[in-house]
């Protein structure tokens, strides 16, 4: 068996840590034992939000040069949220490449850094679900709905919560 890459060793260690000390509302791990670069995640909707009681599936895809570069994350099926593109891709600072933001929306310390971890990513996404950043939204329609018709936004999210539970 060939020696494991730095990324594989790091991902194995993070998976072991997450398995041992799992944050509440988060379940995550590799889809297959022979490929540490694709993880399935189940996230519980944060309490006291429109997402409460939902269980949402997402996929984390890690680049071969992880942890130097961030993974990408995509909800499947997509979620209605100001910081989630219509295709389900998550737009959050911690998943943006290191360095300065060319659009100057984010400080460099908010962006990806190799000291981040899968756990930190997932906790950040849970926080994002509870408190969207509508100043630099990924889904403009969701941003407009969030700002101008919160009851309609919450009705649509409640429908997604019910679907996530098979109801």
Using a cut of 0.85, tell me whether the model's pTM lies above it.
yes
* pLDDT tens series, the chain, 167 aa: 455 889 999 999 999 999 998 899 999 999 998 899 999 999 999 999 999 999 999 999 999 999 999 999 999 999 999 999 999 999 988 887 766 555 556 566 677 788 889 999 999 999 999 999 888 789 999 999 999 999 999 999 999 999 988 88
Please report, for the chain, the start and end positions of each structural domain, with discontinuous segments joined by +: 6-164
41 in catalytic set: no
DSSP 39-108: EEEEEEPPTTSTTTT-EEEEEEE--TTTTTS--EEEESS----TTB-TTSBB--GGGSPSS--TTSSS-G
CATH architecture of 6-164: Roll (3.10)
**Residue 127 has which token pair?**
């926080």
Of 167, 132, 162, 146, nearest in space to 53 by CA:
162
**Residue among 60, 84, 91, 142 flagged as catalytic:** 91
Q: List 59's β-bridge partners, or say none.
A: 40, 74
Distance between first and last Cα of the chain: 46
Element (H, E) at 145: helix 140-148
């Amino acid at each position: 068996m060939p020696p494991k890459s730095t990324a594989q060793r790091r991902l194995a260690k993070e998976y072991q840590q997450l398995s041992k000390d799992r944050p509440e509302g988060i379940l995550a791990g590799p889809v297959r034992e022979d490929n540490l670069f694709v993880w399935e995640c189940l996230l519980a909707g944060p309490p006291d939000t429109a997402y409460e009681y939902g269980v949402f599936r997402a996929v984390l895809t890690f680049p071969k040069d992880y942890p130097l570069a961030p993974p990408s994350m995509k909800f499947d099926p997509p979620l209605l949220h100001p910081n989630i593109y219509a295709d389900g891709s998550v737009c959050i600072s911690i998943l943006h490449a290191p360095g300065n933001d060319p659009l100057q929306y984010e400080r460099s310390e908010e962006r990806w850094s190799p000291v981040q971890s899968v756990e930190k990513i997932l906790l950040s996404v849970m926080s994002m679900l509870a408190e969207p950043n509508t100043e630099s939204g990924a889904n403009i329609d969701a941003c407009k709905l969030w700002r101008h018709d919160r009851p309609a936004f919450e009705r649509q999210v409640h429908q997604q919560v019910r679907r996530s539970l098979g109801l």
